[in-house]
Amino acid sequence: MLDIRLIRENPEKINELLKRRNPELSVDKVIEIDVERRKIQTEADELRALRKTESQKIGEMKKRGENTDSIQEEVRAIGDKVKALEEKQIELDEKQRTLLLNIPNIPDETTPIGASEDDNVEVHRTGEPVKFDFEFKPHWDIAEAKGIVDFERGVKLSQSRFVMYRGKGARLERAIIEFFLDLHTLEHGYEEIMPPFMANSATMTGTGQLPKFAEDMYKCQDEDLYLIPTAEVPVTNIYANEILSEEDLPKYMTAYTPCFRREAGSAGKDTRGLIRVHQFNKVEMVKLTTPESSPEEHEKLTQNAEKCLELLGLPYRRVALCTADIGFSANKCFDLEVWMPSYNTYKEISSCSNYGDYQARRANIRYRDKESGKTRFVHTINGSGLAVGRTFAAILENFQQEDGSVIIPEVLRKYTGFDKI
């Protein structure tokens, strides 16, 4: 959520930054409501002061034995006006909050300006796309031929875009998860978290999934619970409505969870295979930092995600997303894209985002500054480390052999117990 004081003090600048995302965006309505709300606040404060003065007069008049019926009626009338103004203010507060919850974060000044994903900027590439001297197969054909992913029965058990891993496929999926968690906890210094896989609406609102993306969520019919779309949601909200000490920061946390997304509006996109499904596994990295350290911590988190790809030996590139393509709550984002031979292009496997204090304001996550003693909002950062199903698919495609086998990356072999499929 954007800081209303920031909007109030510099609406032109906020509008300029928002229009880098989308020319239709504006905080003008927020300002309009804020002006009316503050006017009512001033009027109510003046009436409260008048009511206090008149009430004191009533006490003095009673001491003198004077009749107070008339002035008491005036005080009651003032009270009625105050109550009406308070009700109006509550109504305007709710309208303003709803507007703010639906306005995205302002992009960082270093985020490339662009009108679509075509304006994203490639930062660097690591590894060369594999060149085959035989007719290679897409990962879904490999998976079906080897009997390691059962697409048909996954649909039978659930519905379209749900899959079932089996045998060495299930073992490989689990091995990837364990490898990522061990790397992040043992080498990168993250605390492992195992959060609930369902979150309430307050938690979903804290990270920006609600109210904007309600249609993309799976909701329990009779309870205030949603299946999480990513571990970012529960892990970021662990310290919601709490005040940390500056010595507690930065906090590094990582979690494996299944992720559930309805993928509303994605009809016809990546319908085959593991790239776009309704349930998938992911290992997430989350950081809570001070504002001063967040750019450096964002870069380090992105490098932590890159390390996963480098150790697996998968070709990838880093892309800086432009203003039109960054996520709703993010102010800066790097996508890591892994080479997928079947698509003859790179596909996103991790988004590493800095949210500034946008999520922290929504979730009310603060820390106490050790010098001033004042409370400030933390900055939140997260990124996939990595999306497991997409890693699985990339391994099948990039390490397939002419004889039909798939070589398992060396770093995974102690987890899988086999070196090829």
- Rounded to whole angstroms, how far apart are CA atoms 251 and 242? 14
Strand partners, 354: 332, 381
| 390 catalytic residue (yes or no) | yes
- Rounded to whole angstroms, how far apart are CA atoms 354 and 338? 21
Reduced to 3 DSSP states, what percent helix, strand and coil does the chain have, rounded to the nearest 5?
Answer: 45, 20, 35
Quickly count: other Cβ atoms within 10 Å of residue 78's Cβ.
17
Which one of the listed residues 294, 342, 350, 351 is annotated catalytic?
351
- Rounded to whole angstroms, how far apart are CA atoms 88 and 295? 41
**Cis peptide bond upstream of 229, omega within 30:** no
| 297 catalytic residue (yes or no) | no
Which one of the listed residues 37, 318, 366, 390 is annotated catalytic?
390
Quickly count: other Cβ atoms within 10 Å of residue 343's Cβ.
13
Which one of the listed residues 261, 318, 361, 366 is annotated catalytic?
261
| 64 catalytic residue (yes or no) | no
Alpha carbon dihedral 67, 71, 75, 80, in 10-degree steps, equals 110
Which one of the listed residues 74, 192, 299, 348 is annotated catalytic?
348
Write out the two tokens for 376.
């400030």
- Rounded to whole angstroms, how far apart are CA atoms 85 and 68? 26
* Cβ burial, residue 164 (10 Å; 0-12/13-18/19+): middle
Contact 384, 351 (CB under 8 A): yes
Quickly count: other Cβ atoms within 10 Å of residue 166's Cβ.
15
Write out the two tokens for 167.
């045998």
Q: Active-site positions?
A: 261, 276, 348, 351, 390
